[in-house]
Amino acid sequence: MIGWGNLNGIVSSNIYRTEDAPRFYPGHGVVLAYLVLFLLGGSVTQYLLLRKENARRRRGERDHRVEGLSAAEVEDIPFGPS
Tens-place pLDDT, residues 6-54:
888 888 889 999 999 999 999 999 999 999 999 999 999 999 999 999 9
Phi-psi region of 81 (alpha: psi -120 to 50; beta: other; left: phi over 0): beta
Q: What is the pLDDT of residues 41-69, one digit of tens each?
A: 999 999 999 999 999 999 999 999 889 99
CA distances from 2 to 6, 7, 16, 55 (A): 6, 9, 21, 35
Gyration radius from the chain CA atoms: 22
